[in-house]
Amino acid sequence: MKFNKRLYLYLILLVVTLTVMIVLHNMLSGQGKPPTTPRDYKEIMASGELNVVTDYNTIGYFVSGDSTRGFQLEMMEALEKEWGIKVHLFLENSLDENLEGLLYHRYDLVARNIPVNTQLKDSFSFTDPLMLNKQVLVQRKAAYNDSIEPIRQQLKLAKKTIYVARDSPAILRLNNLSHEIGDTIYINEDPVYEAEQLVMMVAAGDIDFTVCDERVARRLSATFPEIDIETDISFTQLESWAVRRDSPVLLDSLNSWLDRFKGTKAFKTIYDTYY
């Protein structure tokens, strides 16, 4: 009798264990996969809300005194008014985390200047370009760098250390450039400072090199005469916003709005303010 009771108990424990294992397997197998619930233009308009992520800097979003400013912020305010919905703007500087949040439906749109390349186009859809841009090397002029002339040939970046913001889009280009010149370029990803702060550190002599969008670099060079920005790191690139590939109607609607809005005085005012 005691044997039968133990056997019965073991069977119950076995069933419970198998049940727990199946539940855990189902839970874990769901991890790493984006949600399947569609959220395209129709669902967004029905909810009356658009979730957008941008980066915290003087192009995306920043605080100036008692007000908030930024190119992407003002573009989203214009879109909000046009579509009659509420835009929830989230701030996250890491492009990788922006795109992960887009994939997992935390965001509907990544509104920042993303250099579009083949690798990204395999996973995401991009709006028509908002502008053309390129990445430049930021270094000090000879007059502010012990008479050392700025680097003009990319080959001379071999064995140099270049500071960039963590998860910066410049990292991919620098890695490719390292292969192109056949030598190592050391990349130091700063977990705290963004591109603009790193440019200031170059001007102050704290670091020697960083990489920055040309348009941002030219604006900063007016404030920091110490910096040299005349050495290109990349070719001219298209910069666009990103949406999920399963949001084709949202993509088409954004492109239609951008096509109209870019021809207005309102867009020119926003553009001239920040670029």
Q: What is the 3-state secondary structure (H, E, C) of 12-73?
A: HHHHHHHHHHHHHHHHHHHCCCCCCCCCCHHHHHHHCEEEEEECEECCCEEEECCEEECHHH
122 with 140, same domain?
no
Mean pLDDT value across residues 166-177: 89
Could you tell me the CATH number of the domain that includes residue 88? 3.40.190.10
The pLDDT, as a whole number, for residue 8 is: 53
pLDDT of 59 higher than 80 = no
Q: What is the Cα–Cα distance from 127 to 270, expressed in whole angstroms? A: 19
The pLDDT, as a whole number, for residue 230 is: 97
107 with 49, same domain?
yes
Q: What is the Cα–Cα distance from 192 to 202, expressed in whole angstroms? A: 15
Whether 270 is covered by a domain: the verdict is: yes
Q: Average pLDDT over the chain, rounded to whole?
A: 87
Whether 147 is covered by a domain: the verdict is: yes
The pLDDT, as a whole number, for residue 138 is: 98
Whether 260 is covered by a domain: the verdict is: yes
The pLDDT, as a whole number, for residue 72 is: 93
**In the chain, how many domains are there?**
2
For CA atoms 26, 29, 30, 36, the dihedral sign is negative
The pLDDT, as a whole number, for residue 23 is: 44
195 with 113, same domain?
no
* Reported confidence tier of residue 26, pLDDT bands at 50, 70, 90: very low
Range of the domain at 45: 41-132+239-274
Whether 1 is covered by a domain: the verdict is: no
Q: What is the Cα–Cα distance from 161 to 163, expressed in whole angstroms? A: 7
Mean pLDDT value across residues 112-139: 90
Convert the pLDDT of each residue in 137-165 to its tens digit.
999 999 999 999 999 999 999 999 999 99
Mean pLDDT value across residues 159-176: 91
Whether 25 is covered by a domain: the verdict is: no
Whether 15 is covered by a domain: the verdict is: no
46 with 172, same domain?
no
148 with 124, same domain?
no
The pLDDT, as a whole number, for residue 266 is: 95
226 with 142, same domain?
yes
pTM: 0.73
